[in-house]
């Protein structure tokens, strides 16, 4: 079974040249104005947004730019927006399609994970994970990929503890922040998430909003347990593009190292 694209042409360009041009443009802007957001530490996990590239692509791309050591595999973990279920969905995909070409699935590692943890298998066509695939293919040409989508579960902490102890892995935690408040309130709510990430403060996290809150809370808990550090990379809202400050969505990226 192959993971087909489901939001190409809407969340990100379907055309290979257009997609490459978009990512190259993000990098040109980063090199001109945001070199101070490219750090020397190599992350073991990234927190990245998952809206359309026009809105959150720059923030996500800047996070991927911070990966200096090419991993053996990337595990993308995101919340389910379309299908409600209990647990974490993990499918044994042979590969993942992107406009830039196919990424091989890591079926051997999927088998290992299924021996250790309980998963369900749902064909979810989830955008929170899929929008990461073009970045992964662009930056890590020959790695293998695994996609996990969660709805409700208490098991993510143990899985992340296992994943982050393996230095061959890069974990991607996909989340947007607050939704559809005016920009002033959005900044206030999002500041709690940002401070919580920076300080590994799970209590402060409860004051903010994020559609991928379970993923963020779980990776912070494991980072604290393993003695890892965090660093913010970029924050902005949809108003940066739309200029409409009356109803915005917050986008944030950070690294765990």
155, pLDDT greater than 90: no
Burial of residue 241, with CB atoms counted within 10 A of its CB: 0-12 exposed, 13-18 middle, 19 or more buried: middle
**Cα–Cα distance, 87 to 81 (Å, whole number):** 14
Q: What 3-state class would DSSP assign to 142?
A: coil
Write the pLDDT tens digit of every residue in 36-57.
Answer: 999 999 999 999 999 999 999 9
Write the pLDDT tens digit of every residue in 172-188.
Answer: 999 999 999 999 999 99
Give the pLDDT band (50/70/90) at residue 124. Answer: confident
CATH fold label, 2-256: Protocatechuate 4,5-dioxygenase; Chain B (3.40.830)
As a whole-number percent, the residues of the chain with pLDDT over 70 amount to 100
**Cα–Cα distance, 104 to 127 (Å, whole number):** 19
CA geometry: angle at 62 spanning 170 and 60, to 5°? Answer: 70
Beta-strand runs (E) in 43-181? 45-48, 73-79, 88-90, 95-96, 103-105, 144-150, 169-174, 179-181
Predicted confidence at residue 104, as pLDDT, reads 98
Give the pLDDT band (50/70/90) at residue 197. Answer: very high
Q: Name residue 2's beta-bridge partners.
A: 95
152, pLDDT greater than 90: no
**Cα–Cα distance, 216 to 157 (Å, whole number):** 10
153, pLDDT greater than 80: no
């Amino acid at each position: 079974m192959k993971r087909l694209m489901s939001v190409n042409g809407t969340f990100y360009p379907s055309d290979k040249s257009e997609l490459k041009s978009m990512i190259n443009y993000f990098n040109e802007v980063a090199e001109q104005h945001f070199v101070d957001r490219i750090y020397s530490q190599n992350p073991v996990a990234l927190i990245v947004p998952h809206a359309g590239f026009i809105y959150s692509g720059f923030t996500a791309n800047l996070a991927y730019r911070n990966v200096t050591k090419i991993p053996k595999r990337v595990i993308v973990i995101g919340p389910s927006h379309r299908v409600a279920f209990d647990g974490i969905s993990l499918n044994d995909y042979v590969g993942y399609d992107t406009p830039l070409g196919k990424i091989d699935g890591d079926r051997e590692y999927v088998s290992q994970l299924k021996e250790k943890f309980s998963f369900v298998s749902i064909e979810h066509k989830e955008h929170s994970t899929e929008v990461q695939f073009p970045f992964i293919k662009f930056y890590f040409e020959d790695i293998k990929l695994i996609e996990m989508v969660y709805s409700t579960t208490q098991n993510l902490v143990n899985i992340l503890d296992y994943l982050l102890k393996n230095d061959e892995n890069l974990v991607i935690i996909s989340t947007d922040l607050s939704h559809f408040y005016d920009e002033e309130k959005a900044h206030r709510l999002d500041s709690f998430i940002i401070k919580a990430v920076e300080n590994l403060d799970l209590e402060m996290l409860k004051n903010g909003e994020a559609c991928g809150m379970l993923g963020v809370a779980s990776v912070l808990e494991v980072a604290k347990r393993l003695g890892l550090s965090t660093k913010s990379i970029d924050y902005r809202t949809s108003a940066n593009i739309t200029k409409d400050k009356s109803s915005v969505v917050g986008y944030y990226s950070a690294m765990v190292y």
